[in-house]
Structure 1
Amino acid sequence: MKALRPSRQGDRAPGAAQPAGPPPPPSALSGEPVHARAVTDVFGALGSSPRGLPSATARARLQERGPNELPPARGPTVWRQLAGQFTDLFAVVLMVASAITFLAYTLQQPRETGTLQLAVAILCVVVLNASIGFAQEYSAERTAQTLQAMVPHRCRVVRDAGVVELPVRELVPGDLVALEAGDTVPADCRVVEAHDLTVSNAAITGESEPVRRTAEPDTAEEALRARNCLFMGTDVITGTARAVVFATGRATEFGRIFRLTAAAPRQRTPLQRQVASMARRVAGTALAVGALLFVIRLPSGQGLVPSFVFALGVMVALVPEGLPATLSVSLALGVRRMARHHALVKKLLAVEALGSTTVVCTDKTGTLTQAEMTVVRVWAWDQEHTVTGVGYEPNGEVTDPAPVRELLRSAALCCDARLVPPDGGGRWRVLGDTTEGALLVVAAKAGLDMAAEEAAAPRIAEHPFDSVRKLMSTVHDEGGARRVRVKGAPSEVLDRCTRLDRGGTVAVLADEERKRIEAEADELATEGLRVLAVAGRDTTGSSGNRDADESDLTLLGLVGMQDPPRPEVHAAVESCHRAGIRIVMVTGDHPLTAEAVARRVGIVRSAAPAVVTGAALDAMDEAALDRLLAAGGELLLCRVSPEHKMRVVTAFQRRGEVVAVTGDGANDAPALKHADIGVAMGASGTDVAREAAEMVLLDDSFGSIAVAVRLGRTVYQNIRKFLVYLFSHNIGELAPILAATFAGFPLVPITAVQVLAIDLGSDVLPALALGAEPPESDVMDRPPRPRTERLFSRAVVRRIAFLGGIQALGVCAVFFWHIHASGIPYADFTADNPVYREAITMVQAGIVVSQFFNALAVRTERESVFRAGVFGNPWLIAAGLFGLALMAAISYLPLLQGVFHTAPLTAGDWALLTAVGVLPLAADEVRKFLLRRRTAPPEGEQR
């Protein structure tokens, strides 16, 4: 895929010709090392040329040397992963309990089959949880690999004398790569051309400060210490460069370190640690309850071993052994859902934090807009020229182009971007900055052949754009004369101008004219246009001094371009407003441009938003900044630097806000890392920004942020839902056991094996299905949850007690009603009594039926489940029906009747159990109705 325009400098030097035949392959360099050689010798030593490699040669080298990638880290084998599931704390506790139960079975005289069944049932619980944990972990690793493949890892390479964009893995020794600020170096390279180049070598050497790099030969003993070498995995901080690859893949310095570095252990998130700690406390409570039941039952005439086995079974049944696996599955499902909506979450912690985001600091270009800049207006002295055509396709025209042809020529020459024509029916696109792409397109619309223009005016020096100067300049050789071309923010360029081009006549730029030009720039910005000023000057000497080159300029005119808002952004902004999330636009654009775009997408709705420039922020102390942010309302931060963004993020966090920050440049990395949620752009963002962020937007759209917040809130709510579900039914299991014990009934209302069957059949699968619950319709109509709110809040505990208490009353009533209806005294009941077997079967079935309706109840917190749709989660219905089917099998199949000591239930029994089971759902619907009524806004007031 060739670029529209030829590459610069060395590859278009007059008389440069491609060598006959392919260049020799780079071998182990003999003589001087590559970093000690002059630039002219580097190409020959590496079998390359200033025009890059021919495609055929590159393909041959790729086949010979292999792809430019590191081998995947060796993780544990499948069998080791599976074995690891059985070393978990809960798995160990359960296996020890099973062993003790089996030992008790061997000591019993006579031996009871029920004790052996309990030991086997406990092992079944261990195997089930290990299977779920292993499946989730194995699937999560595969998903992570798939999602990481969605993030672009590409680089710009000179091939066949043109700049192309290729996957990093296709680089070979001898390739000439083009680098700019924000790029990650794709392989070990020797610099052959550098402009204000600095890199961060922290990934290799640990140096925290950026270091300058040059193309000059270096006499260092090794390449790692040479000032003209770049290494895979390091980051370009400032400037631009071209460098020739001399090592790829395993042969790189990073590859050497990679081979010596063991894979880092997986870290648990605070949420996972909190749940694990809570589960351990619950396990301790279960142990205490088991001990209490053992002490109570021992004096009642039960044998030592039967009492111990019963207490052990109850204790094991009450341990939330499946909770950590269910939590991990829920978080992993949230990550996958976000990926389907173009939001790649790199850390599970980000899923948790998204649910409590209160402030989003968003940039403008590409996030709120389509990142397809189009020049629509060109202003030269006293004349305004309109431009037709949209996007990067060079179709359209400039009205009366002759007076502005030199302006557009200068703007296009001062660009590093490349236009790429459609490939296979696609669209025109830009390699590089989108603003520069728009300048190339408008130059073509004005009839300029930029390939010919560049050949006639080759670039001999450049001063790259940076966020402080807000401009870029290049120096060109035009027939022996040298001319500087400058483009940038109008305020910055005007400050450096002393003259004005009036249609070919150069005059001194008077203060009155300067004000007039500033007013014209403001008027264009008011219309929502991004405005650039273009200037130039003739120069002499070496032109190596940036301040000298960018002073005493002649203004050529202004260029106004627009980037239309993304169509989905307005609805996303409105959704965030309803959710109580404050949106602050942070941009380097003109305040008028920023406000115009903010109004279009709905960020600004009032007549007078707070618009603060970077200069105003510099004048504020911390107290003044805190007052500005505490004032609330609509806030636009314009003409700001990355340092300003970082300061604002810190100030918001100081106030207790949970801040999400978007960014795409290398200079955004500090703010992205410091934010609670760093959000990088996947399509247009730099490698450095993506590495610093916790979330990557694969489509660069603000709409994906709103969706991610919605899904993040949903994940947190779903975790609470299955916690309520799991712990409420524990109350329903424990209550009849305690009631029978204190009432003096000699037998248990539900056996330990029955309880474990409930855990296997009615707990795990519905809990997993609740983790996949879709978002509630009003999830974005609620304010963000407080940052300090614990998972087990008072509201959650109250709901567990509410639903669990209703279930407990229902199953206790069913049990004692059936016992009393028989007319048999307590003391006459035995384990083989048909009435007793029917009663414990009804208790087990009552819990299972109650849990089916309880699962429906906990699906929503405020909204009626009937309005949300009873069948809105088909997996939950299927899991509940599986539990009911298993219960029916336990009741009716003779083989399972012998295992669980159950009896067949009649149709009347099922009708009674259904009436009792539906009580939690009915009671919770009443609670939700009262809650909605109490919190509803006053009549006529909008939410």
Structure 2
Amino acid sequence: MRRAGEEAPPHGGREPGGGTATAVPAPVQSLPPQEVFAALGASPRGLSSAQASDRQREFGRNELPRPRRRRIWRRFLAQFTDLFALVLLVASGLTFLAYALQEPHQVGNLQLAIAILGVVVLNAVIGFAQEYSAERTAQALQAMVPHTCRVLRDGQRQEVPTGSLVPGDLVVLEAGDAVSADCRLVEAHGVLVNNAPLTGESAAVGRMADATHEETALRARNCVFMGTTVLAGSGKALVYAIGAATEFGRIFRLTDDVPQQKTPLQREVAAMARRVAGLALTIGATLLLVRWQTGAPLVPTFVFALGVMVALVPEGLPATLSVALAIGVRRMARRQALIKQLLAVETLGSTTVICTDKTGTLTQAEMTVTRLWANGTVHPVTGVGYAPVGSVRDPEPVRELLRVAALCSNARLLPASGADGPRVLGDTTEGAILVAAAKAEVDMAVSAASAPRLTEFPFDPVRKLMSTIHQDTEGGGYLVHVKGAPQELLRHCTHIDRAGDDRLLTDRLREEVTAAADALARQGLRVLAAARRRTPAVPETQEEAESQLTLLGLIGMLDPPREEVSRAVRSCRSAGIRIIMVTGDHPLTAEAIARRVAIVTTSDPVVLTGPSLDRMDAAALGALLSGPSELLLCRASPEHKMRVVAALQAGGEVVAVTGDGANDAPALKHADIGVAMGAGGTDVAREAAAMVLLDDSFAAITAAVELGRSVYRNIRKFLVYLFSHNIAELTPILAATFAGFPLVPLTALQVLAIDLGSDVLPALALGAEPPEPDTMTQPPRSRRERLFSAALVRRFLFLGAVQSLGACTVFFWHIHASGIPYAEFTADTPAYQEAITMTQASIVVGQFFNALAVRTDRQSVFRAGLLSNPRLLAAGCFGLGLMAAISYAPPLQAVFHTAPLSLVDWAILFAFGLLLLLAEEARKAWLRHRSPRYPAHEGALR
């Protein structure tokens, strides 16, 4: 690796966290390309497998050091900074103080203080465990996204994990690639890179392969760096630094402690927590003053006020919210949708428009050439997929067409390995051309040797052409090979090949070519044209190269639609989601595919091309997009896609955009939900997106939307569940206060037992509810709709009122049935102990039926199935079992001052619980009768 006699680099060898400081002592940017090969011990054929293995052992893996994380104990202590935790800690401290100041000491106050502190600690343990589990899950899911790069090893282009790169590797770079290590370019063809992650400069920066005299590699135009992306062009580069030794690794160390931002949902819940805590403190303070003014002792009254405050605080809300979101993310991962941001889970439920590309998302991304047109004749091609099995009818007239198109390609066919069949390394369109050339018996090895490539002008989504320059070793001079969109290529052609002769391309022949291309497009084929030009000298510019071309013919290829897409499209339609196809293909091809997958169902869809869009102003575009018509955007550039997304958002739509290329990244980032392809997408697209489809299928988007809606609805369900029984805890206390009863119907210890023993687990089970059958038959929720809305408040007030009725009734029934005057009741009175036991049991039983009632928004729970959520039933039974233990177990009786309940008591309690369930069922029936198709997310809460 080092030249003889030279010292090792100051940071040579392996560094902590992987990687090496440098592998070349001289300034890599100042060396000509051939000397860079020599300095790094590399060759134009790349490293051998043995060399790569040796250097991996010497320099380590190409990985950044793991970010420094807070110590475990600090992360655990951070759980105590939650607002609810702080309120309860203060309450516990004040209760300890009351115990210390009151003479004689009241053991009940000590028990209460310890219990409140125990609640805080238990919540901290649950929160910490959930946070740690979510972190591990996120790491595992991220590992499912491929991180690979293309290198030359053993003289062959290979796809290897980025972590296995070593100094001296020859990396092949193309538009859309993320640069995986610090590299020195040795070959560059129109390379533009985005250095924003490294330098903050958003403008594209040109790169070259020539030596420079910059003092540092970071400023050199012949170097590319880890973390940056290739926006355009292609080239080859030698790796000289990996892992922590890269420029990005140096910056990474400075930024790895940046705190993660909260999502809007988390901020909304935090604001709700502040309001609830404020309300609890206000009500507690008010009742303290009221009872104190009536002559009640201060310390017992203060403890009573604390009990009221604890009754209003939903201690399990933070953990329940985290679990619901984490469950949603895991479920989406099982449906092949990786959510990179929790924000995406929230926004998915309100998506109103999906702008989807075609290739790979609606189709299988396995292009197969099925038709060739040359010399005025169509030549069918048999065989499917990337296995070169099949034939071309009458192949002689199309061999030159396929040879030129294949030489003007960068893809490579990989043989079958294991259970996987042959696949393409690179662009699938180019792979299909290589397969067709093999079927036509074109020897590409001989062709490449007779016409070695000198340079290329990479494909540009704006000009829609790719050109390569070759040396003609047989006939002398040089060859220009061009392939691209037929309409664009025709503009650059002056002649057409007819049986080996170049004939002037007249208007009649142009019309013939256009008609042939349209005929292929109507069959749903993607159509490419190929052309060539002989020239005595190497063209100096792209314009010169792509001029005076001779058209060789047309290539029609089919990418079959995915079987599951039609069903997914229909599901989106029933959910009120509009689908707009955005593609670079010919309008006829796009319409044919759109009809096959049910995106187009009418006879007159609106087909808008890129040039037509350029002639429209913002008002005209907004008017077009606001209509309900079926819309296809064809021949679209990245700027066109961005403009459509921005216009839809300006019209109030929530837009999801799919994409796989580097040119899709701006639209993916600008959209409300950017959806990138995990298998066939570029690194740039995956980085810009909020969601990655692991199988590239549109059906995964539909499943993710359904789950996103379900997560949001489940969060609302357990909010209704939590706050409705909080009302049931508070109401008896208020009723006893205003009725002049000297004691509380529910002690603070009982409230804590309810909130922890029979509250948290059912709420968690509600967060795991599967999507309801009507989830994808309702229109999207409005983006202006708040989580804690007036409709949600009305629902939990209704359920809380019914539950409160039962709790107050059983308490005062026991009190009046005893015949004892209010003033003579003490904490040791058996009738009082029975009454508070009945109050607690009434709330616990009510919670059991409440959990069943809120499982569905509009659908009858009997129709959904009372036993269809076994987790919820198990959680409810656990709460009932704990209540029975508190009622019958002598040790718990001593702590909670409770008494055993009779079978008649339990029958009364279950009668009130059933009343709650039936009341909610009646309300749902009224909603269904009033508005059969009312939006579920609002209607069920009204």
Equivalent residue, structure 2, for 1:556: 552
For residue 540 of structure 1, the aligned residue among 518, 536, 542 is: 536
Of 602-611 and 124-133, deviating more is 124-133
Q: Does 1:37 align with 2:28?
A: no
Equivalent residue, structure 1, for 2:622: 626
Mapped to 1, the partners of 2:775 and 2:581 lie a distance apart of: 24
Mapped to 2, the partners of 1:741 and 1:714 lie a distance apart of: 41
What letter is aligned with 1:542?
V
Query: Could you give the per-residue CA deviations for residues 283-342 of structure 1, whole angstroms, max 9, x where no partner exists?
Result: 111111111221222244431110111111221231123322321221122111111111
For residue 273 of structure 2, the aligned residue among 273, 279, 292 is: 279
For residue 247 of structure 1, the aligned residue among 241, 244, 248 is: 241
Task: Give the match's secondary structure for 1:193.
Answer: strand
Mapped to 1, the partners of 2:395 and 2:102 lie a distance apart of: 102
Task: Give the match's secondary structure for 1:150.
Answer: coil
- What are the within-5 Å matches in structure 2 for residues 461-860 of structure 1? 461-479=455-473, 480-860=476-856
Q: Does 1:264 align with 2:268?
A: no
Of 25-34 and 790-799, deviating more is 25-34
Task: Give the match's secondary structure for 2:191.
Answer: strand
Of 824-833 and 759-768, deviating more is 824-833
Mapped to 2, the partners of 1:468 and 1:526 lie a distance apart of: 23
Is the 1:276–1:324 Cα contact (8 Å) retained in structure 2? no
Task: Give the match's secondary structure for 2:143.
Answer: helix
> Number of matched residues?
915
Mapped to 2, the partners of 1:573 and 1:659 lie a distance apart of: 16
Task: Give the match's secondary structure for 1:251.
Answer: coil
Q: Does 1:304 align with 2:287?
A: no
Equivalent residue, structure 1, for 2:57: 63
Query: Could you give the per-residue CA deviations for residues 20-65 of structure 1, whole angstroms, max 9, x where no partner exists?
Result: xxxx999867774221111111111100000000100100100111
Root mean square deviation of aligned Cα: 1.5
Of 284-293 and 44-53, deviating more is 284-293
Mapped to 1, the partners of 2:381 and 2:130 lie a distance apart of: 56
For residue 405 of structure 1, the aligned residue among 393, 396, 399 is: 399
Q: Does 1:229 align with 2:216?
A: no
Equivalent residue, structure 1, for 2:287: 293
Is the 2:168–2:238 Cα contact (8 Å) retained in structure 1? yes
Is the 2:311–2:729 Cα contact (8 Å) retained in structure 1? no
Mapped to 1, the partners of 2:673 and 2:919 lie a distance apart of: 39
Mapped to 1, the partners of 2:694 and 2:418 lie a distance apart of: 22
Is the 1:472–1:487 Cα contact (8 Å) retained in structure 2? yes
Equivalent residue, structure 2, for 1:883: 879
- What are the within-5 Å matches in structure 2 for residues 164-183 of structure 1? 164-183=158-177
Is the 1:418–1:432 Cα contact (8 Å) retained in structure 2? yes
Residue 99 to residue 30, structure 1, CA distance change in 2 (3 Å): closer
Query: Could you give the per-residue CA deviations for residues 54-113 of structure 1, whole angstroms, max 9, x where no partner exists?
Result: 100100100111000111101112221111112323222211211110111122222222
Task: Give the match's secondary structure for 2:838.
Answer: helix
Equivalent residue, structure 2, for 1:19: none
Residue 609 to residue 307, structure 1, CA distance change in 2 (3 Å): same
Question: 1:424: how far off?
Answer: 1.9
What letter is aligned with 2:663?
N
Mapped to 2, the partners of 1:668 and 1:506 lie a distance apart of: 39
What letter is aligned with 2:306?
L
Of 815-824 and 580-589, deviating more is 815-824
Is the 1:283–1:320 Cα contact (8 Å) retained in structure 2? no
Query: Could you give the per-residue CA deviations for residues 763-787 of structure 1, whole angstroms, max 9, x where no partner exists?
Result: 1111111111111111011110111
Mapped to 1, the partners of 2:757 and 2:315 lie a distance apart of: 14
Mapped to 2, the partners of 1:32 and 1:105 lie a distance apart of: 75
What letter is aligned with 1:52?
G
Q: Does 1:922 align with 2:909?
A: no
Task: Give the match's secondary structure for 2:244.
Answer: helix
Task: Give the match's secondary structure for 1:42.
Answer: helix
Of 321-330 and 124-133, deviating more is 321-330
Query: Could you give the per-residue CA deviations for residues 151-187 of structure 1, whole angstroms, max 9, x where no partner exists?
Result: 1110000000000000000000000000000101111
Mapped to 2, the partners of 1:336 and 1:180 lie a distance apart of: 33
Q: Does 1:447 align with 2:441?
A: yes
Of 194-203 and 257-266, deviating more is 257-266
Residue 83 to residue 146, structure 1, CA distance change in 2 (3 Å): same
Mapped to 2, the partners of 1:850 and 1:167 lie a distance apart of: 56
Residue 820 to residue 384, structure 1, CA distance change in 2 (3 Å): same
Is the 1:463–1:473 Cα contact (8 Å) retained in structure 2? yes
Q: What percent identity do the matched residue pairs reach? A: 68
For residue 329 of structure 1, the aligned residue among 323, 327, 330 is: 323
- What are the within-5 Å matches in structure 2 for residues 195-210 of structure 1? 195-210=189-204
What letter is aligned with 1:520?
A
Equivalent residue, structure 2, for 1:53: 47
Question: 1:607: how far off?
Answer: 0.7
What letter is aligned with 1:624?
A
Query: Could you give the per-residue CA deviations for residues 896-916 of structure 1, whole angstroms, max 9, x where no partner exists?
Result: 001111101111111110010
TM-score for the superposition, normalised by structure 2: 0.96
Is the 1:25–1:46 Cα contact (8 Å) retained in structure 2? no
Mapped to 2, the partners of 1:914 and 1:321 lie a distance apart of: 26
Residue 596 to residue 198, structure 1, CA distance change in 2 (3 Å): same
Question: 1:505: how far off?
Answer: 2.2
Mapped to 1, the partners of 2:485 and 2:186 lie a distance apart of: 30
Equivalent residue, structure 2, for 1:909: 905
Question: 1:822: how far off?
Answer: 2.5
- What are the within-5 Å matches in structure 2 for residues 93-132 of structure 1? 93-132=87-126
Mapped to 2, the partners of 1:80 and 1:284 lie a distance apart of: 28
Mapped to 2, the partners of 1:269 and 1:224 lie a distance apart of: 35
Mapped to 1, the partners of 2:676 and 2:92 lie a distance apart of: 50
Mapped to 1, the partners of 2:299 and 2:25 lie a distance apart of: 84
For residue 417 of structure 2, the aligned residue among 420, 423, 437 is: 423
Residue 413 to residue 816, structure 1, CA distance change in 2 (3 Å): same
Is the 2:469–2:538 Cα contact (8 Å) retained in structure 1? no
Query: Could you give the per-residue CA deviations for residues 587-631 of structure 1, whole angstroms, max 9, x where no partner exists?
Result: 000001101111111111011100000000000001100110111
Is the 2:316–2:756 Cα contact (8 Å) retained in structure 1? no
Is the 2:28–2:184 Cα contact (8 Å) retained in structure 1? yes
Of 286-295 and 855-864, deviating more is 286-295
Mapped to 2, the partners of 1:261 and 1:677 lie a distance apart of: 26
Residue 734 to residue 823, structure 1, CA distance change in 2 (3 Å): same
Task: Give the match's secondary structure for 2:799.
Answer: helix
Is the 2:368–2:384 Cα contact (8 Å) retained in structure 1? yes
Query: Could you give the per-residue CA deviations for residues 94-150 of structure 1, whole angstroms, max 9, x where no partner exists?
Result: 112111101111222222221111111101210121111101111111111111111
What letter is aligned with 1:585?
M
Equivalent residue, structure 2, for 1:85: 79
Mapped to 1, the partners of 2:444 and 2:212 lie a distance apart of: 36
Task: Give the match's secondary structure for 1:905.
Answer: coil
Question: 1:937: how far off?
Answer: 6.0
